[in-house]
Amino acid sequence: HILKKNGVKVVSAKEHISEGPEGIILEAMLEGYAEFYSAELSEKIHRGQKENALKGKNNGGGVPLGYLLDKKAQKLVIDPVTAPLVVEIFEKYADGKSVRSIVEDFNVRGLRTKKGQPFNINSFSSLLKNRKYIGEYRYQDVVIEGGVPSIVPEDLFNRVQERMEKNRHAPAMAKTKEDYLLTTKLFCGKCERMMVGESGTSHTGAMHYYYKCGGAKRRKGCNKKAVRKDWIERVVVRLTMQRVMDEEKISRLIDAILVMQEQEDTTTPALRSQLAETESAISNLLKAIEQGIFTPSTKQRLEDLEGQKEEILVNIQTAELQKPKLTREQMTAWFEQFRHGDPENRDFQKRLIDTFVNSVYVFDDKLVLTYNYQHGTQTILLEEIESALGSDFDGATPPEQY
């Protein structure tokens, strides 16, 4: 925000980035389609891995301590050198030894992990929960009893799990990690400083989550009151959805993005121009050959031009794959997901705000929202919001002591 206010522009060394705010939306679209391709590819990979799992074959990842990978059969087999160490770990823990003391004992004895590193508490914690050691092969919803050769007796494994359960400490006073959706986008209308997420506990023990002006927080002379988190996020989501649901605005946005998409692609037009010149040269050479002008030089020249043409075609295909162009129909379908999304879903709220909201300024009597497209500024009075969503500024902000 500060960089933009001072006229600083970000320039990519790899590709042209649009000057207009619509570029953010185009980037989000391309990322969305790339994510779809990745998900589809992932589904195909998982299908193959599931077939491997049904045959008891290893699906990659690290080989646990105590096992070796039979590369020919693609199955785990017991390592006679390290398997006794696994049994020792389970027996010591079941007999009351702490994980830390077992780790220290192993490291003093000079024992090392499969990667040649000293043992640590984290690696032991996951080891003690690994059901492969009792012969259970598990991959997603595939569970095969006896799919892996067992190392640890089942009764010993169960005793270890019982002790781990008893030793698990409940994080009684730990604060829940809260996701503040408007971080870096919410600003104080009085001093223009960024508003940051905060939390506090009332005398009743209830947690309050809110956004507070950086100037007021650091006592820089601003007296802007804090804004309740769930209220301001709900307001921004609802107002943004109203904007996205406007078919006329969507149509104008798509027009602008289509034009921008053509302007951003500087590689493909240049390659197509080279292709046209090469094809023209090939055509002229073929005409000369038809007229009887055929020498070793013309033959070599024709082969060179055909090679150039093939190389240009490959470069065009590569450029189009790296940065595919979206059609109007694809863009319309992409916008539809926001028109019919669930405003109560946190993932949907995050995608909506990240894609469309540029900034939100909070005043005592109004909100000013700027969206990621030209002329995308909206000012709305709090009394209008109160009539639709209720007030946040009367008793809904955190208590004064916070």
**Phi, psi of 366, rounded to the nearest 5 degrees:** -160, 165
Each of the 402 residues of the chain gets a pLDDT tens digit; together they read: 667 667 776 665 655 556 566 666 766 776 666 666 666 666 666 666 667 666 767 766 678 888 998 888 888 899 998 899 999 999 999 988 888 889 888 888 888 887 778 888 877 778 898 988 998 888 766 778 888 899 999 999 999 988 888 776 434 333 446 788 898 899 999 998 999 888 887 777 778 899 999 888 888 889 888 999 999 999 999 888 887 777 777 888 788 777 777 665 667 777 888 889 999 988 988 888 888 877 888 888 888 888 888 888 887 777 665 566 778 888 888 888 777 778 888 888 888 888 888 889 999 888 998 887 766 678 888 777 776 665 544 444 454 444
What pLDDT, on a 0 to 100 scale, did the predictor assign at position 48?
65
The predicted structure's pLDDT at residue 177: 62
Residue 302 to residues 278, 285, 292, 293, Cα–Cα distance (Å): 10, 7, 15, 12
d(CA 364, CA 393): 8
pLDDT at 232: 92
Q: What confidence score (pLDDT) does residue 30 get? A: 67
CA neighbor of 148 nearest in space, from 163, 164, 131, 162: 131
pTM of the entire structure? 0.46
pLDDT at 256: 79
Q: So what's the pLDDT on residue 208?
A: 84
Longest Cα–Cα distance of the chain, Å, equals 100
pLDDT at 110 (0 to 100): 87
43-47 own/partner pairs: CB under 8 Å, 24+ apart: 46/140
> Residue 148, Cβ neighbours under 10 Å: how many?
23
Q: What is the CATH number of domain 55-167?
A: 3.90.1750.20
Residue-level pLDDT at 323: 61
